[in-house]
C-alpha cells in the first residue's frame, strides 16, 4: 500500500512538473479565448472594382488574404488557411493565370508552419479547421491539417468538388483532395460551436453556395466577426457593393448575407474583420499580438 501511494505521489509530481514546465501547453489553453490575425502573403496591382462592382478603378496593393487562429480553452480553432504553400515556389504552376492576375506575393515566411510558429504552435495543434469557403485563398492549405476536424457547409464541399458551370475558376482540387479522408463536420446552417456562445458559425451563401462567417466573443475585446469572403471590403458592406462574377455566385443571397452580418454587427456592437480589406487590415493587430 505504501509503495502504491509513493508511486502515485511520484506520478503526480512528474505530471505537475510537466504541466508547469511546458509553455506550449499553457499557450494552447488560455483561460479565455485569444484571437490571432494573419495574412497569407498578399494580392497586388489590380483595380479596386475587381473586388466590388461600383467601387473606384484605383489600383490596390497589399490586399491581405486573412486567416485566424483562436486559442480557445476547448482547443485550437483555425478559421481559413490561406494560399497553398506551393505558391511560394511555384505560383504560376499552382494558381495558373490567377497568380499574375492577382499579383500574388508569397515568401517562405508565409508558409503555414512558419506562421503558426510565431505563436508557438504546430499544424498538428489545430483541432478544428473552419473554412469560410473552399476557394484557393481560403482552403489552400487544408492538406496540412489531416488530423483536424474540418468544419464546412455541406454544399460548399459539393461546390468545390463539382462546381457550377463558370464557377470552377477559384477552386483548385489539389487544395482539398484529402477532404474525403478527413473528419468533416458537414453543416447545413448555423451552429453555436462550443455551446457557450464563444464561437458561432453562420451559414452565409452568396459569394459561394456554402459560404459561412464566424463570430467570436472575447472577454475584453467583445464580439468580433470574421467575414472570410462573405464580404470583401468595409466599403462593400457600407454601400452594398458585391464582387463581379465569379466572386458572386448568387447576388440575392449575397445581399441577404450582408444584411445578416450588419444585424449581428449592430446588435452586438461587433468589430468586423474583413476578408480582403487592406485599410482595415493595416489597423488590425497582427500575430504574435492578439485580441483577448
Ligand atoms: Zn478570398
Average pLDDT over residues 269-273: 98
Phi, psi of 78 (to 5 degrees): -110, 140
Q: How many Cα atoms are found within 13 Å in the side-chain-facing hemisphere of 89?
A: 2
Q: How far is the CA of 171 from the centre of ligand 1 (A)?
A: 11
Is it the case that residue 10 has pLDDT exceeding 70? no
Is the per-residue pLDDT at 198 higher than 50?
yes
Integer Cα distance of 168 and 182 in angstroms: 22
Q: Residue 121: how many CA atoms within 13 Å on its side-chain side?
A: 24
> Could you report the per-residue pLDDT of 217-253, keeping only the tens digit for each?
999 999 999 999 999 999 999 999 999 999 999 999 9
Instruction: Give the 3-state DSSP-derived string for 70-89, with helices as H, strands as E and coil as C.
Output: EEECCEEEEECCCCCHHHHC
Tens of pLDDT along 173-195? Answer: 999 999 999 999 999 999 999 99
List CB contacts of 20: < 8 A, sequence separation 6 or more. Answer: none
- At the second CATH level, the architecture of 31-282 is 4-Layer Sandwich (3.60)
pLDDT band at 17 (very low <50, low <70, confident <90, very high): very low
141 and 84 Cβ atoms separated by less than 8 Å: yes
Residue 172 Cα to ligand 1 middle (Å): 13
Q: Average pLDDT over the chain, rounded to whole?
A: 92
Give the largest Cα separation in the chain, rounded: 80
Greater pLDDT, 2 or 246: 246
Rounded distance from Cα 26 to ligand 1 centre (Å): 32
pTM of the model: 0.90
Confidence label for 28 from pLDDT (cuts 50, 70 and 90): low
Q: CB–CB of 72/194 below 8 Å? A: yes
Domain ranges of the chain: 1-26, 31-282
Mean of pLDDT values over 261-271:
98
Residue among 50, 67, 71, 68 nearest 59 (CA): 50
What span, in angstroms and rounded, lies between the C-alpha atoms of 152 and 139? 10
Q: Distance from the CA of 233 to the center of ligand 1, in angstroms? A: 11
34-71 pLDDT, tens per residue? 999 999 999 999 999 999 999 999 999 999 999 999 99
Distance in Å, CA 228 to ligand 1 centroid = 7
Distance 150 CA to ligand 1 centre (A): 18
CA of 82 to the centre of ligand 1 (A): 9
2: pLDDT strictly greater than 50: no
Q: How confident is the model at residue 29 (pLDDT cuts 50, 70, 90)?
A: confident
Grid coordinates belonging to 24: 506550449
Q: Give the pLDDT mean for 139-152.
A: 98
Alpha-carbon distance of 64 to 282, in angstroms, equals: 9
Sorting pLDDT into bands at 50, 70 and 90, what band is 21? very low
User: Are 158 and 99 in contact, with CB atoms under 8 Å apart?
Assistant: no
What is the pLDDT, as a whole number, of residue 232?
98
- Between CA 149 and CA 30 the distance in angstroms is 21
Q: Please give the distance, rounded to the nearest whole angstrom, from the Cα atom of residue 274 to the centre of ligand 1.
A: 10
Amino acid at each position: 500500500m505504501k509503495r502504491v501511494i509513493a508511486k502515485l505521489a511520484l506520478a503526480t509530481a512528474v505530471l505537475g512538473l510537466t504541466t508547469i514546465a511546458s509553455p506550449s501547453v499553457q499557450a494552447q489553453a488560455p483561460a479565455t479565448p485569444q484571437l490571432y490575425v494573419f495574412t497569407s502573403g498578399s494580392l497586388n496591382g489590380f483595380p479596386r472594382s475587381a473586388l466590388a462592382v461600383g467601387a473606384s478603378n484605383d489600383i490596390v496593393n497589399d490586399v491581405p488574404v486573412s486567416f485566424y487562429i483562436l486559442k480557445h480553452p476547448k482547443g485550437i480553432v483555425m478559421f481559413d488557411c490561406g494560399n497553398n504553400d506551393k505558391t511560394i515556389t511555384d505560383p504560376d504552376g499552382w494558381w495558373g493565370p490567377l497568380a499574375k492576375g492577382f499579383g500574388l506575393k508569397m515568401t517562405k515566411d508565409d508558409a503555414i508552419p512558419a506562421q503558426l510558429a510565431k505563436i508557438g504552435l504546430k499544424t498538428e495543434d489545430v483541432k478544428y479547421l473552419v473554412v469560410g469557403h473552399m476557394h484557393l485563398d481560403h482552403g489552400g492549405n487544408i492538406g496540412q491539417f489531416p488530423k483536424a476536424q474540418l468544419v464546412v457547409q455541406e454544399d460548399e464541399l459539393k461546390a468545390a468538388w463539382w462546381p457550377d458551370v463558370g464557377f470552377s475558376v477559384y477552386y483548385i482540387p489539389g487544395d482539398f483532395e484529402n477532404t474525403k479522408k478527413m473528419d468533416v463536420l458537414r453543416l447545413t446552417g448555423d451552429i453555436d460551436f462550443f455551446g457557450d456562445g464563444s464561437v458561432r458559425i453562420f451559414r452565409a451563401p452568396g459569394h459561394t453556395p456554402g459560404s459561412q462567417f464566424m463570430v467570436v466573443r472575447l472577454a475584453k475585446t467583445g464580439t468580433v466577426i470574421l467575414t472570410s469572403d462573405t464580404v470583401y471590403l468595409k466599403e462593400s458592406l457600407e454601400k452594398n457593393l458585391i464582387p463581379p462574377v465569379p466572386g458572386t455566385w448568387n447576388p440575392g443571397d449575397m445581399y441577404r448575407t450582408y444584411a445578416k452580418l450588419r444585424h449581428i454587427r449592430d446588435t452586438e456592437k461587433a468589430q468586423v474583420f474583413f476578408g480582403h480589406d487592406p485599410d482595415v487590415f493595416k489597423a488590425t493587430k497582427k500575430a504574435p499580438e492578439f485580441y483577448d
